[in-house]
Amino acid sequence: ADAEGRALAATAIAVADQLASAADLARAKDSRQPVAVVRGAERFRTDEDGPGAAAGLQREAADDLFR
């Protein structure tokens, strides 16, 4: 159960957040390097997600605990 007593059934992994964290680790903060290129992330997208990144990042209202 979570802190509110609701049963935990599944966890949706926020792949975009994990990729952003990994990219931040790949570059030094003082390197003046503005970006890190992440390749191979397309394997985490499925046809069910639809086109674009937003489709995989947005949850349905019924599934969003913070809405």
CA 8 to chain centre: 19
Task: Provide the whole-model pTM.
Answer: 0.55
Helix, strand, or coil (residue 34): coil
C-alpha to C-alpha distance for 19 and 6, rounded to whole angstroms: 29
Task: Single out the residue of 18, 62, 9 nearest to residue 40, CA to CA.
Answer: 18
**How is the chain split among helix, strand and coil, in percent rounded to 5?**
40, 0, 60
Q: What confidence tens digit (pLDDT) does each residue in 8-63 have? A: 776 667 788 888 888 888 888 788 888 888 888 888 877 777 776 666 667 778 87
Length of the chain: 67
